[in-house]
Amino acid sequence: MQQHNLEVAEVDGDNWCFRDGKLGPCDFFADVDKIIRKMKDRPPDQSFLRFLAKQFSNPKHDPNLEEAKAHARAYVTGFNAADPGKVSINWLAEEMESEEQIEGDRAFRITKGYQSLVEILLQRVRNLNVPINLGSTVETIRWSRGNVEVRGHASRKQFKFSAPRALITVPLGVLLARPSEKGAIRFSPRLPASKQKALSKLSMGHVMRVTLQFKERFWENVLPQDSEKTLSELSFLFSDDEWFPTWWTQMPIKSPIITGWAPFKSADKLSGHNSKFIVDKALTTLSRLMKVPKKDIAALLRSGHFHDWQNDPFSRGAYSYVKVGGKNAPGILAKPVDHTLFFAGEATDTTGQTGTVHGAIASGKRAAQELIKLALG
């Protein structure tokens, strides 16, 4: 981004929380941080839910502790899109340490949009005259040492590619799909048992995201109860809403766009429904949280955009996480098979950046280096 002089803006603004039926400043971050940081003591690997139950048993039923635990669970499900009953606390701790090394608490947005980054990567490929076959569905990968044959179809026509080696970088959900399911890739012979075991220790998180564009920033003049400050500088809005518990604006850029985030069980409830249903639930949530009549918000809506990643056969989820006992799974998944099959993608990252674009790009560079090293002998 720096090399191409892309303009970026650091995320800024106010965080608001919906609690006891009204909006107010968020005051739970410090308590949640204490809970999360306890994982750095490296207790035996266990699920996050078990960790909470053992380390913060709360025999005196302190309501403040219970609330902090609820926010911690929401953080794990929201930020990691993970099932708190399955996700590994050792992996979460490693992820947290990696974030600290790169100032992960700071966030930036490309002013002209994420597509700008994709276009840079695309142009690099075009400059090398590498063909890209869009709309092509890979169905079967037949391989033996030093030989790979990829078969599939594009526009109802069958295709076949052959090469000494193949780099496989598909979403974890596709690798986990059963051979009979749409979008699945059948390996012949099957991937080694070590790969199968590693895959069993990884899981695909579920998220539904909706982006709403309005005629104006209607929240600009919303004045929460018992507050002297409006939502004009709103950056993030957190709640326990069953549909879209987290929202964010484009701050510091004041555009009439707001994004709703529905992870884990919220995503599962929304998945499979049409655009009308998704947008309606989003408007209902905004109306409830901001105390603005739903019909007024709906009248200002220009468009709503979302993608059902869970029901997309070529993604089958949002991004990956590591389950209990799977600390080494990403590294095993990343390891080349017989100098012939190479693997990349965020699920293969071993630096604590699993589930991120950072990890995805880094894994691609790692896999490319492996291929170059082999080619050069």
Average pLDDT over residues 147-167: 96
In this structure, which topology does domain 133-204+319-375 adopt according to CATH? FAD/NAD(P)-binding domain (3.50.50)
Is 59 a residue whose pLDDT tops 90? no
Is 173 a residue whose pLDDT tops 80? yes
CA distances in angstroms from 74 to 3, 28, 263, listed in the order given: 37, 12, 9
Q: What pLDDT score was predicted for residue 39?
A: 85
Average pLDDT over residues 183-188: 96
- Cα separation, 42 vs 308, in Å, equals 36
- Structure confidence at residue 60 as a pLDDT band (50, 70, 90): confident
Q: Provide the 10 A C-beta neighbour count for residue 146.
A: 11
Structure tokens at 330: 């990403």
Q: What pLDDT score was predicted for residue 163?
A: 96
- Cα separation, 256 vs 302, in Å, equals 10
Is the C-alpha dihedral spanning 123, 126, 132, 134 positive or negative? Answer: positive
Is 156 a residue whose pLDDT tops 90? no
Residue range 85-111, pLDDT digits in tens: 999 999 999 988 888 888 888 899 999
Is the C-alpha dihedral spanning 361, 202, 35, 43 positive or negative? Answer: negative
CA angle 63, 65, 70 (to 5 degrees): 95
Which burial class, exposed, middle or buried, applies to 115 when counting CB atoms under 10 A from its CB (0-12, 13-18, 19+)? exposed
Is 118 a residue whose pLDDT tops 80? yes
Q: What pLDDT score was predicted for residue 307?
A: 94
Residue range 248-276, pLDDT digits in tens: 999 999 999 999 999 999 999 999 999 99
Q: What 3-state class would DSSP assign to 190?
A: coil
Is 294 a residue whose pLDDT tops 80? yes
What is the pTM assigned to this prediction? 0.92
Q: What pLDDT score was predicted for residue 212?
A: 98
- Domains of the chain, by residue range, sit at 27-105, 133-204+319-375
Q: What pLDDT score was predicted for residue 218?
A: 96
Q: Which of 118, 107, 40, 28 is nearest to 73 (CA)?
A: 28
- Structure confidence at residue 367 as a pLDDT band (50, 70, 90): very high
The DSSP secondary-structure symbol of 201 reads T
Is 30 a residue whose pLDDT tops 90? no
pLDDT > 90: percent of the chain: 80
Q: Return the exposure string of 230-248: e unless at least 16 CB atoms fall within 10 Å of the residue's CB, then b.
A: ebebbbbbbbebebbbbbb
Q: What pLDDT score was predicted for residue 32?
A: 86
Residue range 187-245, pLDDT digits in tens: 999 999 999 999 999 999 999 999 999 999 999 999 999 888 999 999 999 999 999 99
Choice between 167 and 103, residue whose per-residue pLDDT is larger:
167
The mean predicted confidence, pLDDT, of the chain is 93
DSSP string, 343-373: E-SGGG--SS-TTSHHHHHHHHHHHHHHHHH
pLDDT > 70: percent of the chain: 100
- Cα separation, 263 vs 271, in Å, equals 11
Average pLDDT over residues 349-374: 92
